[in-house]
Copies of this chain bind each other. A is one copy, B any other.
Amino acid sequence: MSQPLEELREQLDGINHELLKLLNKRAEIVRSIGEIKDKQGVPKFDPVRERAMLEELTRQNPGPFKDAEVKHIFKEIFKASLNLQEEDHKQQLLV
């Protein structure tokens, strides 16, 4: 009854692609948030907001990923997003 390996791999490639699109859509939003924060002169890194997002995500987590794995992956996403905001900020200073 199990699906052949090739079919499962095709499904995986499809999900990878969807994840890639969503991650970049997320990065665009984070950039816009960074621009607003720049204008307001407030720091980009907001540990309270990050913790709230992680708590919400583990609360919603249906598995099979454990909460620790979900937190770990999202922390990496947050870190990459913060890097992007900081690069934008440097670009702005150079203009």
Contacts and interface: CB of A to CB of B under 8 A. Distances in A.
Chain copies in complex: 2
A15 B26 contact: yes
A24 B80 contact: no
Interface residues of A, number: 51
B70 A23 contact: yes
A11 B25 CA distance: 10
A67 B33 CA distance: 22
A64 interface: yes
Contacts of A8: 29, 32-33, 36
Interface of A: 2-5, 8-9, 11-13, 15-33, 35-37, 49, 53, 56-57, 60-65, 69-70, 72-74, 76-77, 80, 83-84
